[in-house]
Amino acid sequence: MSLVPPRHDGSVTPTTPTRGRYRYLLNGAEIPVTETFTIEQQVRGTSVTSARSAPGTELRVEARYSLEGGVECALEWTSELDGMAARVVASYSVAPDGSIAARWSTNDAAERTETIPVGSGPVPMFFPLMRVFSGRSLAKLVAVAPQPLPVLVPDIRDPKNVDAFLTPLLGDRFAASVAAGSCLVDDAAHPCDVVDYRGGSYDSDATVYLDNGGLLLRYTWPQEGAGEWDVQLCEIEGPWPTPSQW
């Protein structure tokens, strides 16, 4: 899956890419979920790729943020598990004015489309699901807290709801409160905002640790019937990323 083919004509700035990984813990024990990301600065913007794999499933996301304010994003979900779609592909195109065009196809069926125009209210923020992207939206929510902002995400609430999977899902989210804190990454302490996050699937008790450049350092939330989830940034190689600049 690639939005833009590799080019060798000097169009990509020869900068060192940033690579990182988030680990997932459930009730204090690390589980076999791997989420990695790569960030590359390019002449006309920033390319970010991320993949999350768990036993029997994988989600891959590739997004390009342009200097003009647009976003082109491709997603691919694959699963070997019963009751879930074997493959779903989707693309989201966000224009500089904030309007969004979505396309998706399930199990190689005919492509479906939807357009979300800019209305009279706040322009929705687009969040491509993976942890490396979430800090951009959260930083904007912190800036206007406690007021909500609309956020559009590809729907992953129920992988067994095949017809709805990766389709556009719009809802209000907000930072209920913000306090100063600190978080360990690669055994080094980083100052951060500790944010109570509300909306979407996180109606209560979700806590986010966000650095001043918009990078998610940690994410915790309870899940009924499962326990306490804790997602932690645990590896960074290359320049420290600042998602709020994308």
Q: Which long-range contacts (CB under 8 A, 24 or more apart) does 217-222 make?
A: 217/183, 217/185, 217/190, 217/192, 218/183, 219/131, 219/134
Q: Give buried/exposed letters for 65-92 (b at 16+ CB in 10 A, else e).
A: beeeebbbbbbbbbbeeeebbeebbbbb
Can you tell me which residue has the tokens 């994988």? 58
Q: What is residue 204's predicted lDDT score, i.e. its pLDDT?
A: 60
Can you tell me which residue has the tokens 């990078």? 215
Q: Give buried/exposed letters for 171-208 (b at 16+ CB in 10 A, else e).
A: eebbbeebeebebebeeeebebbbbbbbbbebeeebbb
How far is 182 from 77, CA to CA, in rounded Å? 34
Residues facing 74 on adjacent strands: 62, 91
Q: What is residue 160's predicted lDDT score, i.e. its pLDDT?
A: 93
Q: pLDDT tens digits, the chain, 246 residues: what are they?
A: 444 444 444 444 457 999 999 999 999 999 999 999 999 998 889 999 999 999 999 999 999 999 999 999 999 999 999 999 999 999 999 999 999 999 999 999 999 999 999 888 889 999 999 999 998 889 889 899 889 999 999 999 899 999 999 999 999 999 888 899 999 998 899 999 999 998 766 556 799 999 999 999 999 999 888 899 999 999 999 999 999 988
Q: What is residue 202's predicted lDDT score, i.e. its pLDDT?
A: 57
How far is 35 from 24, CA to CA, in rounded Å? 8
> pTM here?
0.90
